[in-house]
Amino acid sequence: IQKCVNYNQGQKIFGFDETSYIGKISFPSIQAAPSFSTSFPHLFGDKKLHCLIPCAIDQDPYFRMTRDVAPRLGLPKPALLHSTFLPALQGAQTKMSSSEVNSAVEGNDTPNQI
């Protein structure tokens, strides 16, 4: 994915500039990777399956980039299901955060944690 999006494209999509940190520049491709079934060979083998991504509208630029990259990788374009914003578990006035353990359900949470 990183080889399919050059700096100029990233600059136009995400507003990178000469002060942007390397983590900010590399993050879009990291966020895009789970959009493809080939990122999960332990679940899907080598099948190239379509993916439906529920996301808040602020994530749209990441997944538009992903849809542009998919054909160059020989993978199906993911489909998006937009929401205004996905609220945290504490309610609509709060935000999900990985640093706040009670704000989201993580994929590796146990039934007791949920």
Tens-digit pLDDT profile for residues 36-94: 999 999 999 999 999 998 888 888 899 999 999 999 999 999 999 887 766 667 777 77
Distance CA 52, CA 36 (A): 10
Distance CA 74, CA 13 (A): 22
Asked whether 44 and 38 are in contact (CB, 8 A), the reply is yes
Across the range 9-16, mean pLDDT stands at 91
Distance CA 7, CA 20 (A): 11
pLDDT at 98: 67
pLDDT at 91: 75
Q: What is the CA radius of gyration of the chain?
A: 16
Residue 9 has pLDDT above 70, yes or no: yes
- Residue, of 11 and 84, whose pLDDT is higher: 11
Six token digits for residue 57: 């509208």
